[in-house]
Chains A and B, each alone.
Chain A
Amino acid sequence: MTDSKRVIIVGGGHNGLVCATYLAKGGKEVIVLEAANEMGGAAVTREFSPGFKVSACAHLLNLLDPTIETELALKSHGLRLAKTNLKTIALAEDGNHLQIDGNRVSGGGVSDSDTTALVKYRRRMDRFAKLLGRLYSRKPPRIGVSNPSDLFGAAKLALDMRLLGREDMREFLRIAGINIYDILEEYFDSPLLKGALSFDGVLGTHLGPRSNNSVFTTLHRMSGRIGGKQGALAYPAGGMGAVTAALAAAAASKGVTLRTASPVARILVDGDRVTGVELEGGEQISADTVVSNADPRTTFFKLIGARNLDAGFVRKIQHIRMRGNAAKLHLALKTLPTFTGVEPDQLGERLVIAPDSAYVERAFDHAKYGEYSSSPALEITIPSIHDASLAPDGQHVLSAIVQYAPYELKGGWEAGREAFTNVVLDQLSRYAPDIRQQITHTELLTPADIEREFRITGGHWHHGELALDQALMMRPVPGAAQYATPLSGLFLCGAGCHPGGGVMGHAGRNAATAVLSGGSR
C-alpha cells in the first residue's frame, strides 16, 4: 500500500531540505532521510578537534537564493550572516598584497588602467551573472519538443539574452564558452589581480584558468546576491551548518519529518515506478514519490540499479564528469596567525594564494596527470575572527580550499595524504611564516574523504563538473534534466541537476515545483 501524499527525500543536504519545505507547503507529507547523524549533507559545521569547529566543505556563502531566504523565512529560523561583502586579499610572497573589494582594487602596485578595467570587467560580468541567475530559478526547457512551457522557456532564455543589448549579447555569446585566462588577458596587466580573478573560475572544479568553461564557472560563482549584492561573499554565523540548521528548522516548522542516521540502501522499484525506499537497517518506507538529493550516479547506480534503467540512459549517467579536484584543509590554531604584510583587520577577509593565472594553470597541469603540484593555489579563511563560537577563547580555526587535489591521485590518497598536507603547509608558511608553530591539529579532506564522508561520487562539490555540456537541459543528462526521471515518481533535487552546486537551494526549489506539477521530462 503506497501513499500518494507522502514524499520521501533521500538525503538531508541543503537542496533536500529546501525541496522538503516547499513540498510540505504544497500539502505533501514529507520525510527527509539523512544518512549522517545530523542534517545538512556537505553543508555542515563539525568539530574536527576538541573545541574547534569548521564548515566541512564550502565555507563561504555566496549563492543562497534570496527568494528562498525570504519564502522560507530563514532569518526567523536562525540564519544570520556574521560578515557580508568579504574582500579578497590576493597574497604576494613579498607582502605587497592586492585587495579587491567589489569593483575596487588597491595595493599590489596595481596600475590605473587595471583599476578602470576592473570596473568595466565587473559591470559586464555582473550583467552576465545576473542573466545566468535568472535562469537558475526555473527548470530548464527541453529541446526538440513542442510542449508550450518548454517553448516558452526557450523563448524566455533567448529574450533574456537579447535584452542584454546588441553589444553585450555578442560579448556574452563570445565569452560564455571560453576560458577565463584569455578574458583576463584582455582586461588586465597585474599578475596578482589576474591570478585572483582566474582562481574564482576554477574553485571546486576540474578546470584550469585556460580550460574552456572557466568563464561559465566564474559567472556561476558571481550569480548569487548574498546580502543584496551581486557576486558578494559572506560568512554565515555558526558556519555552513547554521544555514542548513535554519533550513531544517524551516522544514520542521512546516511539518516535515526529519530523520537522521537513516541511510537509504535502495529505492524500491516496481515495474515502471518507485514505491518507496529501504534503509540500510532493512526498514522499508513506502511512498509514491521519492526525491533524491544524492548525486546522479549514486541515485541511479547505487539506489536504483542499472537493471531498472535503459542502457543508453545508463551510459549517459556513466559519462557524467564528476571527479573532484579540491581538498579542504582545517587547522586548529593557538593564536591568530600572521601573514606577511597583511594588516590585522584584513585577516578576516578572504585570502587567496594564486599569484598569477599561469601559476594556477601550472597547478592544474599536475592534476591532469593524477599528481598534485608542489605549488597549490589556496582560498584561506579564518572564520573564528567573525564567529567566536568556532574555537576556544583566543584560539582560531583556519579553513582553506586547496586546488588541486585530483580524486584519482597516483598511488592513492592513503599513501599521498601526509606528503600533500606538508606541501600545503609549506605553501602556507611562505605567506605566514610562523603558522606551523601555532597548529594544534590538522585535518585534510581529500576528494576521497569527501566522497566517503558525504557520499558524493568522486568527491565533487557540484555533484558533477559544472560546464556548458553538463548545464541547463543537459544537467545531469537529457532525460532527467527537468528533475523528473525515467522512473515515475522518482525525482532529483541535488546539485547534480540544474543549476548545479554551491549552497544555493535552487535545485531543491525547482524540484519541488516539478513534483507538485506532476513532473514531465
Chain B
Amino acid sequence: MKNLTKEHFHTHLYPSPFHSRTEPLNKLNQWGRWKGYLSADAYTDISMEYFASRNTCGVFDLTPMTKHLITGPDALPFLNRLMTREVSKIKPGRVGYCVWCNDDGRVIDDGTLFHLREGVYRLCSQEPQIDWLLTSAIGFDVDIVEDTHDVAALAVQGPTSCAILRKMGLNGLEMLKPFGIEHYPFEGTELMVSRTGYTGDLGYELWIDPSHAEALWDRLFAAGQDYGIAPMGGEALDLVRVEAGFLLAGVDFLPAHEAIRPDRTRSPFEVGLGWLVHLDKPHFTGRRALLEEKRRGSRYNFVKLDIDGNKTAEHSFILDKRENYVGTVTSAMWSPSAKANIALASLEAPHGKVGDEFLAEVYYQRELKWHRVLAPCRVIDGIFFEPARRKMTPAPNF
C-alpha cells in the first residue's frame, strides 16, 4: 500500500485521489464513508444523477472498492479453491463475476476477478478480504497484497460512455467485449479499461495510478462536455444496481464473516447465484456443504418481484395469499427505466418460482399519515431493465 503514509490514521476519512475534482462538484456537500474513504453519496440531485447514467453518462469514483493483487505460480489453483466457479475459464484480459464461501457453503462476499495478465489477477470486493485470502493461501505458492490505495478507479457508465472515452483518445474501445480488459498509454503511464460496471448498462471502469487520477478526471470531463457527462454518487448507483438485479453485500445478503447468528447467512443458491457454482470442478471451500445442500434442498430462494402500484416496497414482508409470512424484501425502488415497482426479495423455500404471486406488505406515509397496502406482486424472470447496448459489440456510438 505505497500510497498510504505512516501518518494516514491521523486522517479520519481518507480522501480519494479524485477528491480535488469531486469536492467542488459536490454541490450538496453530501459525503458518506466507504471503507475509510470519503465518498460522495450525491452531488446535485439523485434523480439527475440516475438519469445521467441511464441516458448519457454518469461517472462514479470507485477507488474505495477493496482491491487485491494475486500473483505467483499457484495463483490459478488458489483462486479455483477459493471461488465457487471454474476460474480457469477466465482467460487473460477477461473479467469474471465470482462468489466465495466459507466451509459451510455460506457466501462470504461477491466480487469481480480481473485476469490482468497470464497468472496475474486482481480481485475487487465489497468487503476487505485479506484475512480470508491469506487463510485460503495456506498450502499454496501465491502472493497476495491488498492494493486498494494503489489504484485509482472510475466507473464511466451510460449510453455515451464509449463515445466519450473514444473522444478522449481510446481508439478501438468500441470493439472491447463485455467483461474484456484493454490497456492504453496515458500521459506516461498505463490506463487500464474494463468493460464492466455495477449499472447493467453500457459502461466501463478505468484503473490508473493515483498520481494520474486528476489528469484522467480532467481529460474525461473535457471529452464528455458535449455528451452529458455528470458525476454520480453512491445513492444513484444504488438505484441502477437494483434495476440491474445486482446484489449488495450487507443489504441483500449478510456476509458470512459478519454474521453472529449462523442461520442468517446464505448460500450462493439462496441468493440466486447458483449459476456461479460449479460443483463438477476440483475441490473448493464450501463444496461439500453445497453438495449436501443440493441433496437436501436450499432454505431460501432469492427472487425479483414486480409489485403492483407505485409505493416502494422497502423492507416489506412478503405474504402468501392467506397473508402468511413467506419472506422479506432486501432492496426495492420505483424503476423509472423499467416503469415498474421492483424489488429483490429473499423468500423461504419452496416459495419463489417464476410466476408465483404474493402480497407485499407496504407501509407508506402521506403528510405524516401512515398507510398500509397489501400490493399484489409476482416473481419475474430476467432483469428488470436491460438495454441492448449493454452487450453490443461494437458498442453503439450515442
Q: Does B1 contact A (CB under 8 A)?
A: no
A311 touches B285 (CB 8 A): yes
Q: Does A306 contact B (CB under 8 A)?
A: yes
Minimum Cβ distance to chain B for residue A305 (Å) = 7
Could you say which residues of chain B place their CB within 8 Å of the CB of A479?
103
**Of the residues A271, A308, A315, contact of B138 by C-beta under 8 Å:** A315
Given contacts A306-B140, A307-B77, A486-B288, contact A312 B135 (CB under 8 A): yes
Q: Which residues in window 354-392 of A have CB below 8 A to B?
A: none
Could you say which residues of chain A place their CB within 8 Å of the CB of B283?
271-272, 307-309
- Distance, CA A519 to CA B285, complexed state (A): 22
Q: Which residues in window 98-146 of B have CB below 8 A to A?
A: 102-103, 132, 135-136, 138-140
Q: Return the CB mask of A304-320 against B: 1 if under 8 Å, else 0.
A: 01111111111100100
**Of the residues B81, B103, B135, B288, contact of A272 by C-beta under 8 Å:** B288
Q: Does A301 contact B (CB under 8 A)?
A: yes
A307 touches B138 (CB 8 A): no
Given contacts A307-B283, A309-B283, contact A314 B138 (CB under 8 A): yes
Minimum Cβ distance to chain A for residue B326 (Å) = 26
Given contacts A272-B288, A272-B291, contact A311 B282 (CB under 8 A): no
- Distance, CA A313 to CA B288, complexed state (A): 12
B138 touches A310 (CB 8 A): no
A311 touches B81 (CB 8 A): yes
Could you say which residues of chain A place their CB within 8 Å of the CB of B140?
306-307
Most buried by A among B102, B285, B286: B285
- Distance, CA A309 to CA B140, complexed state (A): 12
Could you say which residues of chain A place their CB within 8 Å of the CB of B136?
311, 314
- Distance, CA A311 to CA B138, complexed state (A): 8
- Distance, CA A484 to CA B298, complexed state (A): 25
The chain A residue sitting closest to B82, CB to CB, is: A311
Could you say which residues of chain B place their CB within 8 Å of the CB of A318?
138
Q: Which residues in window 475-516 of A have CB below 8 A to B?
A: 479, 486
Minimum Cβ distance to chain B for residue A269 (Å) = 8
Minimum Cβ distance to chain A for residue B142 (Å) = 11
Chain B: residues with Cβ within 8 Å of the partner, total of 18
Could you say which residues of chain B place their CB within 8 Å of the CB of A305?
139
Minimum Cβ distance to chain B for residue A482 (Å) = 16
Could you say which residues of chain B place their CB within 8 Å of the CB of A271?
283
Q: Return the CB mask of B282-302 against A: 1 if under 8 Å, else 0.
A: 110111100100000000000
Q: Which residues in window 313-369 of A have CB below 8 A to B?
A: 313-315, 318
Most buried by B among A308, A309, A310, A486: A310
Could you say which residues of chain B place their CB within 8 Å of the CB of A314?
135-136, 138-139
- Distance, CA A305 to CA B138, complexed state (A): 10
B139 touches A307 (CB 8 A): yes
Could you say which residues of chain A place their CB within 8 Å of the CB of B139?
301, 305-307, 314
The chain A residue sitting closest to B139, CB to CB, is: A306
B81 touches A313 (CB 8 A): no
Minimum Cβ distance to chain A for residue B94 (Å) = 23
Q: Return the CB mask of B239-267 against A: 1 if under 8 Å, else 0.
A: 00000000000000000000000000000
- Distance, CA A479 to CA B285, complexed state (A): 14
Most buried by A among B138, B139, B288: B139
Could you say which residues of chain A place their CB within 8 Å of the CB of B82?
311
Minimum Cβ distance to chain B for residue A144 (Å) = 10
Could you say which residues of chain B place their CB within 8 Å of the CB of A315?
135, 138
Minimum Cβ distance to chain A for residue B116 (Å) = 23
Minimum Cβ distance to chain A for residue B240 (Å) = 34
Minimum Cβ distance to chain B for residue A285 (Å) = 22
Could you say which residues of chain A place their CB within 8 Å of the CB of B81?
306-307, 311
Minimum Cβ distance to chain B for residue A441 (Å) = 41
Could you say which residues of chain A place their CB within 8 Å of the CB of B287?
272, 310
- Distance, CA A308 to CA B77, complexed state (A): 11
Minimum Cβ distance to chain B for residue A137 (Å) = 30
A312 touches B285 (CB 8 A): yes
Minimum Cβ distance to chain B for residue A238 (Å) = 41
Minimum Cβ distance to chain B for residue A27 (Å) = 28
**Of the residues A272, A308, A309, A312, contact of B102 by C-beta under 8 Å:** A312
Minimum Cβ distance to chain B for residue A147 (Å) = 15
The chain B residue sitting closest to A312, CB to CB, is: B103
The chain A residue sitting closest to B81, CB to CB, is: A307
Minimum Cβ distance to chain B for residue A110 (Å) = 52
Could you say which residues of chain B place their CB within 8 Å of the CB of A486?
288
**Of the residues B77, B282, B288, contact of A310 by C-beta under 8 Å:** B288
Could you say which residues of chain B place their CB within 8 Å of the CB of A301?
139
The chain B residue sitting closest to A308, CB to CB, is: B283
Q: Return the CB mask of A282-317 against B: 1 if under 8 Å, else 0.
A: 000000000000000000010001111111111100
Could you say which residues of chain B place their CB within 8 Å of the CB of A309?
283
Minimum Cβ distance to chain A for residue B107 (Å) = 14
- Distance, CA A441 to CA B271, complexed state (A): 69
Q: Which residues in window 284-331 of B have CB below 8 A to A?
A: 285-288, 291
Q: Which residues in window 164-189 of B have CB below 8 A to A?
A: none
Q: Return the CB mask of A82-99 against B: 1 if under 8 Å, else 0.
A: 000000000000000000
**Of the residues B103, B132, B282, contact of A313 by C-beta under 8 Å:** B103
- Distance, CA A307 to CA B287, complexed state (A): 12
- Distance, CA A297 to CA B77, complexed state (A): 21
Given contacts A301-B139, A314-B139, contact A307 B103 (CB under 8 A): no
A311 touches B288 (CB 8 A): no
Q: Which residues in window 271-286 of A have CB below 8 A to B?
A: 271-272
Minimum Cβ distance to chain B for residue A249 (Å) = 39
Most buried by A among B138, B282, B287: B138
Could you say which residues of chain A place their CB within 8 Å of the CB of B286?
310
Most buried by B among A315, A318, A479: A315
The chain B residue sitting closest to A487, CB to CB, is: B288
B291 touches A311 (CB 8 A): no
Minimum Cβ distance to chain A for residue B280 (Å) = 9
A310 touches B291 (CB 8 A): no
Could you say which residues of chain B place their CB within 8 Å of the CB of A313?
103
A311 touches B103 (CB 8 A): yes
The chain B residue sitting closest to A271, CB to CB, is: B283
Could you say which residues of chain B place their CB within 8 Å of the CB of A311?
81-82, 102-103, 132, 135-136, 138, 285
The chain B residue sitting closest to A300, CB to CB, is: B139
The chain B residue sitting closest to A314, CB to CB, is: B138
- Distance, CA A311 to CA B81, complexed state (A): 8
| A313-B103, A314-B138, A314-B139 known, 20 other contacts, Cβ within 8 Å | A272-B287, A272-B288, A272-B291, A301-B139, A306-B138, A306-B140, A307-B77, A307-B282, A308-B283, A309-B283, A310-B286, A310-B287, A311-B102, A311-B135, A311-B138, A312-B103, A312-B285, A314-B136, A315-B135, A486-B288
What residues of chain A have their CB less than 8 Å away from a CB belonging to chain B? 271-272, 301, 305-315, 318, 479, 486
Q: List 14 A-B contacts (CB under 8 A).
A: A271-B283, A272-B283, A272-B287, A272-B291, A301-B139, A305-B139, A306-B138, A309-B283, A310-B286, A311-B81, A311-B82, A311-B135, A311-B285, A314-B139
**The 8 residue pairs across chains A and B that have the minimum distance between CB atoms:** A306-B139, A310-B103, A312-B103, A311-B136, A310-B285, A311-B285, A315-B135, A314-B138
